[in-house]
A and B are shown apart, each in its own frame.
Chain A
Amino acid sequence: MWLFALPALLINVCIILVPAVLTFTAAFFIWDGVGTPVWAGLTNFQNMVADPVFWSALTNNFIWTAIFLTVPVCLALVMAAALLMAPKARIVVQSIIFLPRIIAVAVTGRIFQGMIFSPATGIVAWLNEHGFSISDPLADPDRSLYAVAAVDIWHWWGFLAVVFLAAMRQISVDQIEAARLDGAGFFALFRYVLLPGISPTLTLMLILTVIWSFQVFEFIFIVTRGGPAYGSEVLATFAYRHAFFEGDVGHAAAAACVMSLFGLCATAVYLRLQITDDAQST
């Protein structure tokens, strides 16, 4: 029987587990990726801690986590409740808000750069012509992270709303009707019936948000490359830059380890949840 599992397991171990262990090892070596690695002890970590860009990248990861634990979650919760009340619009609207999720990140990033944020061809340009003075947020180190987050929120929140809607639809209609007969308005219904009803799904999505927020790479790399002036740098772009543009794989590996460490706590909670859940279903 174990032959059935072997191919998938073998591929996964070779592509993910072995290199992951090597990354952990590489963090203790000075290595350019090509030559012979030289033992360096904790040098990579010491250099990293001394680098202010590392700290601003880490801070940005925390800001990103805070943004994604709140903004898209609130939008999605309210939207899911709204769709629950509008059964006729549900199917079409669900597909519309899901659509951004299936468009490639590279394409989404470029569309927002050109059509929204660009001071020459975007909505920002249009607003400037119509009496609002807004500069390109992507060119401003203080605002670039938030601008990229806005793009990712556009891409993400609708998917989240569809997940929450699916969970809300599992709540029994009787329960909702009973609350309504008791005179519960929208907010009471939301607070006392819908929210508790989807709390397992909500918890899971919040944990995944924490895990993903420490891994965030694509949108930032595509839209700003971590710039300008490292304003939107996160650990993943920091590591990528060190590995491939500065030829310092050891340093990149150290950053990747730190990144994984933060995700690890959330992963532990995630695995606990999944496994108790799994024990019930099998």
Chain B
Amino acid sequence: MIGDRWSRTFALGLIGVASFSSLLPIALAIMNALKTTTEIGSNPLALPTQMHWENFSSAWRNARLGPSLLHSAEVASLTILMVCVTATPCAYVLARQKGKLWRFITFYFMATITVPVQLYLYPLYFIFAKLGLVNSIPAVALIYTAMFSPFAIFLLRTYALAIPVALEEAAQVDGARPWQAFWYVILPMMRPGLLTVAIIVGLNAWNEFVIAVTFLQNDSNVTAIVRFYNLTGQYSTDWGEMLAAAVTIVLPIVAIFVLLQRQFIDGMTSGAVKS
């Protein structure tokens, strides 16, 4: 146990206040999602007296959340697939190859992590508009792949670095080609890393705003986040229904977070913690 009694009491008090303030806006959203707008107006802090579940059904109907959630799922799964397929071999080769050119490629990917979206958004949009790729879900997934794969490459590279080179050499002695060694020896050992990558990339794609709001403009292809954003501009007086929509969009993410906290936290803090 670290610290004396006084500082431990201080620590516990702080932990209490911090947890409360982290949860308060979420709790308010859930509570008020079950109230009518008049009830919210009269006292936003009161617990619902009667559960107005119809907020959820009307949000589902009026906001057409169903199709937009499906689009979000499409974008997220397509992005996960493309990131895993392209980043894994890249991470492997960056872990194994030495030399100037490979160091430069590593450097390049590091640099793109910090590049602001604004630096490539505008030409990209007008190029995509010319090519007829605006309002296309696969096109958005392609942009996400470019945005999120550097993160994936560096995470997977740490897994690849941990695999002893002797394993592939043994495979090569047995006559395996490089891609066979990769497929049968390396890939199975990178599986835990791939799970983390899939979770983080999926989360980012589900929540992403700038690209989605710029490149998806039709009701027939918007993601849930964009639908929610557009909707709340129009109907922002009906907070009960709006909050019900918010809870519906966030719920799948929170459910996965509760199940897979370790992967979330390790994945998102990876690279940040230096020893």
Contact = CB atoms under 8 A, between A and B. Distances in A.
B209 A106 contact: yes
Given A19-B127, A162-B265, A271-B111, A114 B272 contact: no
A15 B124 contact: yes
B106 A278 contact: yes
Interface string B65-101: 0000000000000000010011101101111111000
Interface stretch (A62-70, A139-147, A239-247): A239-247
A158 B18 contact: yes
Given A1-B93, A26-B122, A186 B116 contact: no
Interface residues of A, number: 111
A102 B254 CA distance: 8
B60 interface: no
A158 B93 contact: no
A12 B111 CA distance: 11
A205 interface: yes
A38 B203 CA distance: 41
A112 interface: yes
A8 B203 contact: no
Interface string A98-116: 1111111111101111111
Interface residues of B, number: 107
Interface stretch (A41-49, A51-59, A249-257): A249-257
A103 B253 contact: yes
Contacts of B173: none
B116 A8 contact: no
Contact of A93 (B18, B106, B110, B149): B18
Contacts of A221: 210
A122 B8 CA distance: 34
A50 interface: no
B28 interface: yes
B12 A120 contact: no
Interface string B152-167: 0100001001000000
Nearest to B12: A86
Q: Which of B25, B37, B178, B246 has the most CB of A within 10 A?
A: B25
A150 to B, nearest CB: 11
Contacts of A101: 268
A236 B107 CA distance: 25
A121 to B, nearest CB: 5
B11 A85 contact: yes
A281 B158 CA distance: 9
Interface in A72-118: 75, 78-79, 81-86, 89, 93-108, 110-116
Contact of A4 (B89, B115, B125): B89
A214 interface: yes
Name the 8 nearest CB pairs between A and B, nearest first: A15-B146, A186-B7, A200-B274, A82-B11, A19-B120, A22-B123, A4-B89, A8-B90
Interface of B: 1-4, 6-8, 10-12, 14-15, 18-19, 21-23, 25-26, 28-29, 32, 37, 40-41, 43-45, 82, 85-87, 89-90, 92-98, 105-112, 114-127, 129, 142-143, 145-147, 149-150, 153, 158, 161, 178, 182, 203, 206-207, 209-210, 214, 225-226, 228-229, 232, 236, 239, 242-243, 246, 249-250, 253-254, 257-258, 261, 264-265, 268-269, 272-275
Given A83-B15, A106-B225, A217-B118, 13 more contacts: A4-B93, A79-B14, A85-B2, A99-B22, A103-B254, A104-B249, A107-B228, A186-B6, A201-B272, A222-B229, A244-B214, A252-B122, A281-B158
Interface of A: 1-2, 4-5, 7-9, 11-12, 14-20, 22-23, 26, 33-34, 75, 78-79, 81-86, 89, 93-108, 110-116, 120-123, 125-126, 154, 158-159, 161-163, 166-167, 170, 176, 180, 185-186, 189, 200-201, 204-205, 208, 211, 214-215, 217-218, 221-222, 235-236, 239-240, 243-244, 249, 252-253, 255-257, 259-260, 263, 266-267, 270-271, 274-275, 277-278, 281-282
19 contacts: A4-B89, A16-B115, A34-B126, A34-B129, A79-B14, A99-B26, A106-B207, A106-B225, A111-B25, A111-B29, A116-B25, A154-B21, A159-B268, A167-B275, A186-B4, A200-B274, A215-B116, A217-B210, A282-B98
